[in-house]
Amino acid sequence: MKETKIKVLALLPLELPKVVELDNTLEAMRKFVGGNIECLPLYDLNSEFTLVCNDEGKLLELPPNRMLWDGADYLAGSGFIAGTDFEDNMTSLTAEEYRKIPGIFNCTLRKAHTMTHDAMTEHYEEITVCGKPALFTSIRIKRDTIPEGLYAYDVRHDDECRGIPCEIAPFIMVNHLGTIILAEPLELPDDGWRYIDEETDWNYDPFDGAEKKQKPCTTVAEFMRFCMNNPF
């Protein structure tokens, strides 16, 4: 019989997990995660657990929450872990089941989320990304310091740590190469991750070509003036 209320393990950004009670309805689950839900079976826990999260958390640039699957991915925005029955209904977690959930869910992304910098006080390298003028820095930039009309993305480097840019996404935790800022948005696949073709998508020359008198570094304010004077 389906439970009307369920006790789940709530996973909130920058907070330790805690037990909360939810109405066992789709509406309540959507409200908790802030949008459409995605249900991810946690087979690696050797039990009938399900992680419920926002289906578009990364695309909406929700706050990073926790690492998943040994750092291969991360949870964006609020989520929770619940049990499931043989009819795939959500169920409450028992005390024994709480103990089976590994300590990885106790680890927030507080450090990565707070070790960011003000976009307007940093200096950047002028590059070209996907045929568009862009700024690049190896540090993380606070998204709420990006001026309106500009778009910021994280860049992931290769797993061999050779410094080769390989993916672009709204937020990257593992293998973070740097941050790029553009005057127009990039087209991203539905999963929010765009693979980089190093031959065509990434060029360390400025937009006007290698012959341009490129400054060793520039600011966001200078980039905005350049974009205003050179509409694309």
Tell me the CA distances in angstroms from 87 to 5, 51, 84, 157, 172, one per residue in order.
16, 17, 8, 42, 35
Q: What is the pLDDT of residue 154?
A: 92
Q: What is the pTM of this model?
A: 0.55
Report the distance separating Cα 154 and Cα 14, nearest Å: 20
> CA-CA distance, 227 to 232, in Å (whole number)?
8
Q: In 10 A of CB 19, how many CB atoms? A: 13
pLDDT for res 33: 96
Please list, in sequence order, all residues whose beta carbon lies within 8 angstroms of the beta carbon of residue 48, skipping any fewer than 6 positions away: 83, 84, 85
The percent of residues in the chain predicted with pLDDT above 90, rounded, is 41
Are 5 and 24 in contact, with CB atoms under 8 Å apart?
A: yes
Domain ranges of the chain: 5-109, 119-229
Nearest to 6 by CA among 87, 104, 80: 80
With a cut of 50, which residues of the chain have pLDDT below it? 45-46, 110-114
pLDDT at 207: 66
pLDDT at res. 174:
65
pLDDT for residue 114: 47
